[in-house]
Amino acid sequence: MKFVNCPLIGKRALSEFTYGGVVKSEPDLESVTDREWAQFVFYRHSDPQIQFEWWYHRPTGIWFVFERDTLTDRIESIRMAQKGAVNDA
């Protein structure tokens, strides 16, 4: 089993977490065009890379942001998600 060291809650099994997808930059909802919205919702470059991801810790209900390499599965850093700060997590 794989374990991760998180701020506040310490060492936890990865199986306690749910993956929430890659952190994206949400466009301004007032002025967004259909095309820009599709770009935001669907399209991206998903080749192997180090990316920021949402991870939900089910037992405590805390959302974390993992910096993870999608080629090696190595987690580079973990921090708690900031309330209200969607775009820069």
Partner 1 sequence: MPLRLLKYAWKKPEEELRFFPSEKPLKQSYDAVIIGGGGHGMACAYYLAKEHGITNVAVLEQGYIGGGNTGRNTTIVRSNYLTSEGVKFYDASLKLFEDLSEDFDLNIFYSTRGHFTLAHTDSAMRTMRWRAEVNKHHGIRSDVVDVETIQKDIPYMNVECNGQHPVMGALYHEPGAVARHDAVAWGYARGAQLRGVEIHQKTQVTGIQTQGGKVVGVQTNRGDIQTNKVISMVAGSTPRITRMLDIPTPIEVFPLQACVTEPVKPFMNTIVVSGSLHVYVSQSSRGELVMGASVDPAELHSTRSTLDFVEGLTDQMMDLFPFTSRLKIMRQWAGMSDITPDFAPIMGKTPVEGFYLDSGWGTWGFKATPISGKTMAHTVAHDQVHELIKPFALDRFENFKLVGEKGAASVGH
**End-to-end C-alpha distance for the chain, whole angstroms:** 27
Q: Which of residues 41-70 bind partner 1 (CB under 8 A)?
A: 41-48, 53, 68, 70
Nearer to partner 1, 16 or 80 (CB): 16
Does residue 5 touch partner 1 according to CB under 8 A? Answer: no
Nearer to partner 1, 38 or 86 (CB): 38
Please tell me the distance from the alpha carbon of residue 6 to that of residue 22, in angstroms, as a whole number.
18
Q: Which of residues 21-40 bind partner 1 (CB under 8 A)?
A: 22, 34-35, 38-39
Please tell me the distance from the alpha carbon of residue 26 to that of residue 38, in angstroms, as a whole number.
11
